[in-house]
Every structure is written in structure tokens, then in C-alpha cells.
Structure 1
């Protein structure tokens, strides 16, 4: 019985929602990004490279089920090698109740010193601050494990809302201004953790 419960849980709750079409949202996003260097890794995942070779990142679809609908969100993932040892997980957030007033790192786990170092590095990088302040991101996490930083950024655009009742699909596009901010933010964050 103890072995069947996890399997039953996985069958009932850890499966893709009905109506999810792997790769469709990513195809829309690919048109918004307009990058020539794209390598499809599998259904719902791809690797992109800028023409000048300054940045390589992956994008993966992630589903989020709700009552009679689901969301297909695209996660931008970037890995940057670092000489650091240890583990840490931090989240970057906009500050301000009604209007954005700044950015702050929040430590989720790991040593407190990483938060202070990232806050100091961000304070000395005005170009990265200018890219991040107007960027419409839902989630931005930075993980350190095995001497490698992994950045995961989930943008509000490049996502799809799928409703079952009434039936409709709506793709939320990544507009050109947000695209440019996103690429600048990914480059800036890669530079930030390389210099730590």
C-alpha cells in the first residue's frame, strides 16, 4: 500500500492538464524572440543562442493547473559556472506597494552572505537595474549548487491561458520592448554572478 500511494498521486495530479499541447506556446514565443539560433531539445523545450555568441539560454514550458483552466508558462534558464562552493537559493523581487520603487534579493536558503553580495553587486550595476525595473517577470530565482549558478526567470509574456469552460485559448505575447529588456537582463545577470 505504501508503494502504491505515490504512484496513484503521480497518475492523478502530476500529469499534464487536458488540452495542453507541448511546444505550441514555445512556437509562439520563438516568433516573439526572433532569434535565428534555436535548437529544439524536446517537446516544450529549446535552446537559444544570440548571433554574437554572448548568451546561450534554454526555455522550457511549464504548466500550472487551476480549476477549469490551465496556464502554460515559459521558464528561461541560464547556467553560469562559478568558482564558488556551497549552496544557495535567492529570489529577486520588485519593491513598492503600488509603484515599483526598487529591487531586492530575498534569501530562500543558504548562507546570508550571498544575499548581501548580490545586493551590493546589483547596486553597482545601473545597466542591469535599468533592464530589471520595467521587466514584467513573475518569478526570478538564482540557485547555486556544485559551483554553478542557475538562473530561472519566468516572464509574464510568452505564456498561454487555456480555459475549458467556456473553451478558449489566449496567448500573451512578449512585446519587442520586453524582449529587449529580457535579453539585457539575462546578459546582465550572467555578468553579475560571474563577477561574484
Structure 2
């Protein structure tokens, strides 16, 4: 076996879904948590959610992660904000405060100094965005700009499933009503802020 094919086989092994992963099961649980929104299955493990009255929509993709004798199925919420073409940029947001959340820090991972000077103070200081983000339990939130506009990717601590093989059990960690409202308010405000940039 050549080194190239050996490396490819190893990559394929790590990319394959964990044993026992059932595409769409976690999304079906999430569908109940987002019952006020219309849900359209797009492919196994991917669905679109939108308001019935024609409001904005977003996609949710299952992200299975293998662990020892278990796996997690996390949900990644993806909001596309159309915009004019501009230089590529990537911003990551996180909560600040050691014990209690005190604010939001935005860090430019890719982009120009002009973008950083314009966007970072806006994201860290907008009162409506902070009101939505502070109670939101997210583990990853990134904003990426490309030639189509902005892509917001948010991974929540809830809306996930824990699947254990020994002993065998499945547990869905639901997206509570308060977290759902904070998530939707965050997306609505980011849509307004990023749509103008």
C-alpha cells in the first residue's frame, strides 16, 4: 500500500459516521423544539427552518462526533446573510467573564484592519445583540464573509444527542424555549447588522 493510499484510508476512517449514528434523528427532536417554524428536510442530517409568514430562514446540520464507546450528535445552525461582495473575513465571538457572563468578545481571525475597526466594536457593543447573546448557551459562533455575503455558524450546547453503547442509551438535550428565543433574536439582529456591511 502506497503512503498516499494509506493516508487516504486513514482520513476516510476518521471521517466516517460513528457506529450507531442515525441521520435525521436529532433533527427530528429539534423539529419539536422549533415547532413554530416550518421544517424542510434537505438531505439526511440537514434541514431548513423558516417562518411560515415568509420571514428569514436558516439551515441546521447534524455534526456527529465519535467518542470512546459513545458519540455525540451536535447541531450546527447556519444563517446566510446576503450582501455585496467584499474581502474575505472570519470573526469568532465568545462570552467574557470567568464566573458570570459579562459581555461578548469578538476576535478577527481573517480580514483587513479596516474591517476589524468597523465590525468588532459594532458586534461587541450593540445592545440588542448583547441582550440576545448573553443568555445564549453556545459553544462556537463564527461569522464568515465570502463573495455571497456572510455565513453565521452557531453550535449550541443544547439541541444535541448523546448516544452511549455500553450501557446502551440515547439522550436528547433539548433546546429550551428561552434558548430558542435567544437564538432566533441573535440571528435576527446579526442579519440586520451584517446585511449593512
Q: Same fold (TM over 0.5)?
A: yes
Match of 1:151 in 2: 152
Q: 1:100-128 deviations in whole A, cap 9, x for unaligned?
A: 11001112222233333222223553122
* Distance verdict in 2 for CA 1:54–1:124, change over 3 Å: farther
Does the 8 Å contact 2:104/2:124 carry over to 1? no
Aligned pairs, number: 196
Q: 1:64-111 deviations in whole A, cap 9, x for unaligned?
A: 112222110001001112224111111100001111110011122222
TM-score by length of 2: 0.93
Secondary structure at the aligned position of 2:31 is classed as: helix
Match of 2:92 in 1: 91
Does the 8 Å contact 1:48/1:58 carry over to 2? yes
Distance 1:36 1:133 in 2: 23
TM-score by length of 1: 0.93
Larger CA deviation: 118-127 vs 139-148:
118-127
Secondary structure at the aligned position of 1:59 is classed as: strand
Matches within 5 A, 1:1-196: 1-123=2-124, 125-196=126-197
Secondary structure at the aligned position of 1:16 is classed as: coil
Could you say what the CA RMSD is over the residues aligned between the two structures, in angstroms? 1.5
The structure 1 segments of at least 4 consecutive aligned residues displaced by more than 3 Å after TM superposition are: none
**Unpaired runs of at least 5, structure 2:** none
**Unpaired runs of at least 5, structure 1:** none
